[in-house]
Amino acid sequence: MITERAPAKINLALHVRHRRPDGYHELETLFAFLRDGDEISAEPGTASFRIDGPFAAGLDAEADNLVTRAASIFAQRFAIRADYVIALTKNLPIASGIGGGSADAAATLRALATLHQIPLDHPTLFACADALGSDVPACLYGRSALGTGRGEQLQPLDGLSDIAVLLVNPGVAVSTGAVFQRWDGIDRGPIGAGPILELAHRGRNDLEPPARLLAPVIDEVIRVLEATEPMLARMSGSGATCFALYASEADRAAAASAIRADRTDWWCLESTLV
């Protein structure tokens, strides 16, 4: 059996430049990854898929999903019989802007590649990821990067390792498609160049305003995070999960403790960036 972590993804900045003729949006985004997230295990056997973990109830193992699609496209592209026993431990909230499904698909690809002794940098593996969704190549890469195009064109960036991060989700699922549909279409400029933390501070998330219209509680989450005096607080992806970066683990722990005490129905995850 092969076990792979499916780390949570955050967008330190997400600039939407324009809508493309193919229906996708041209993006510039700063991807960063946490040490914690979901977990995938895979082994040869009669094809099956099961889900457990704190957020398992939000998914249907019998329905179409990115994990089983990843297994199918892997078998197709590598001409390998698709008989795997796959299990997903779902630790991350569903439809929350932190790449849960994309990270699970990427972890599935890594697990199957390892089972078949295929190098993790194999071009066909990245082609599989690209076919599964815009965030899947970044999740397969699994390290901080500037993403352009749909987000699939990746330029590695350094400078984030071991930074303390707190994720907060108010228990609201937000549809990525619905958020993009409400983007106002205004190009507010590129991310630019420089050290990644400087870019993050100068940057923005263009999906935050439309996401706040769909889920006004995001306003409260960001306000509560900013009150803990982090280095940076912002919504990730299309929401509704928000993140805060801290100068120390002690600062992060104090913030998490205060939020958990005051907002008992919010989900919090203390982690670090890799």
Task: Name the helix (H) or strand (E) containing 270.
Answer: strand 267-272
Out of 9, 38, 90, 104, the active site residue is 9
Known catalytic membership, residue 9: yes
Contact 163, 273 (CB under 8 A): yes
Q: How big is the chain, counted in residues? A: 274
Q: In a 3-state reduction of DSSP, which class is residue 107?
A: helix
Q: Encoding tokens for residue 235?
A: 């919504």
| Residue 111 to residue 235: CA distance in whole angstroms | 30
Closest listed residue to residue 201, CA positions, set 230, 164, 166, 225: 230
Radius of gyration of the chain, Cα coordinates, nearest whole angstrom: 18
Question: Phi, psi at residue 37, to the nearest 5°?
Answer: 170, -150
Q: Which of 38, 135, 206, 251 is catalytic?
A: 135
Known active-site residue 90: no
Tell me phi and psi for residue 95, to 5 degrees. Answer: 50, 55
Task: Report the C-alpha gap between 46 and 9 in whole angstroms.
Answer: 31
Q: Tell me which residues are annotated as active site.
A: 9, 135
